[in-house]
Amino acid sequence: MSSDSKRKPRIGVFKFASCDGCQLSLLDAEDELLAVAGAVEIAYFPEASRAMSKGPYDIGLVEGSITTHQDAQRIQQVRRQCKTLITIGACATAGGVQALRNWKDVDEFIRIVYATPQFISTLKLSTPIAEHVPVDFELRGCPINKHQLLELIAATLAGRKPNVPSYCVCIECKRKANVCIAVAHGVPCLGPVTQAGCGALCPSYDRGCYGCYGPMESPNTSSMTSQLRILGQADSQVARAFRNFNAWAWQFRKASEECERT
């Protein structure tokens, strides 16, 4: 224990099915990267280093969803090696955009993309990490916010609760004194049901939120659906709005499926 207290905490970064953008957020923290690298040992991070040290790790950052048999096994090994396991981004926390396959015949998808379908081995569903192993914290976003990631790492190392709010994007819009684009201009916006974290980016750029941070803590999706209908959206459009980067998050999934049934 005494020798342990002197050593730097070890961090591992693990990738599953994803675009690499969330782990890139760490390298995009240009002002903080060298300070982070001084405070911790980045022991496993193939995107950044060819030195790959074996576990165990104090913190495991997991990006990506589970879409193959091998990855379903690999996440078990990763979990065993990580004291604290944090999933980062919509793929890891909700199955990602690749979960759009979950409503389709995956064999047909394979035929569309690949000329020789028998070479492709993939699961029928793209699923979040928490459906496979216990997860200590889920950081939302497609992509995640690098400042939230740094806060989360700092909080985990200090043993305190991270300051990552679970309220909706509307709060961030109010803070920025944005005029509500849904109310003032009739633009369909998922802000009321989407978790904050992006800084209300889309409404600040004159477009509706498209839900890339996934559902807030307890979203009223049926009220959202009614509101979108009032703004003239057809049920097929509402279903598509819920069905993108966090489509498999259960609250959005339920909302899109309800629109399809009506």
Partner 1 sequence: MTGHTTKTIRVDTLARVEGEGSLYIKVVGERVADVKLKVYEPPRFFEAFLRGRHFSEAPDITARICGICPIAYQMSAVHALERALGIQISPAVRLLRRLFYCGEWIESHTLHVYMLHAPDFLGYPDAIAMAKDHRALVEKALRLKKVGNRIVQLLGGREIHPISAAVGGFYKVPTKQQLRGLVDDLQWALEASLETVRWTAGLEFPNFEQDYEFVALRHGQEYPFNEGRLVSNRGLDIDTAEYEDHFAELHVKYSNALHSVIRGRGSYLVGPLARFNLNFDKLPETARQVAIDVGMRPPVRNIFRSIVVRAVELVFACAEALRGIREYEPPTAPRVEIDNRVGVGQAITEAPRGILYHRYALDENGMILTAKIVPPTSQNQKRIEDDLREFAAQLVAWPVEEATWKCEQAIRSYDPCISCATHFLKLSVDREEIKV
Handedness of CA 79, 137, 215, 183 (dihedral sign): negative
Of 120 and 154, the one with the shorter C-beta distance to partner 1 is: 120
Q: Do the Cβ atoms of 163 and 153 come closer than 8 Å?
A: no
Span near partner 1 by CB under 8 A; candidates 147-155, 166-174, 188-196, 200-208: 200-208
Q: Which of 12, 128, 143, 188 binds partner 1 (CB under 8 A)?
A: 143
Instruction: Supply 62's token pair.
Output: 């997991």
Instruction: Supply 27's token pair.
Output: 């390298």
Residues 105-124 that bind partner 1 (CB under 8 A): 106, 108-110, 112-116, 119-122
**Which one, of 13, 15, 19, lies nearest residue 33 by Cα?**
13
Q: Which of 10, 11, 12, 42 binds partner 1 (CB under 8 A)?
A: 42
Host H or E run for residue 225: helix 221-230
Q: Which of 81, 84, 204, 233 binds partner 1 (CB under 8 A)?
A: 204
Q: Does residue 21 bind partner 1 (CB under 8 A)?
A: yes
Instruction: Supply 174's token pair.
Output: 């109010």
Instruction: Supply 195's token pair.
Output: 């978790």
Q: Which of 31, 54, 158, 184 binds partner 1 (CB under 8 A)?
A: 31
In angstroms, the CA 15 to CA 71 distance is 10
Q: Does residue 8 bind partner 1 (CB under 8 A)?
A: no
Q: Which of 160, 184, 205, 232 binds partner 1 (CB under 8 A)?
A: 205
Number of residues that bind partner 1 (CB under 8 A): 65
Q: Does residue 217 bind partner 1 (CB under 8 A)?
A: no
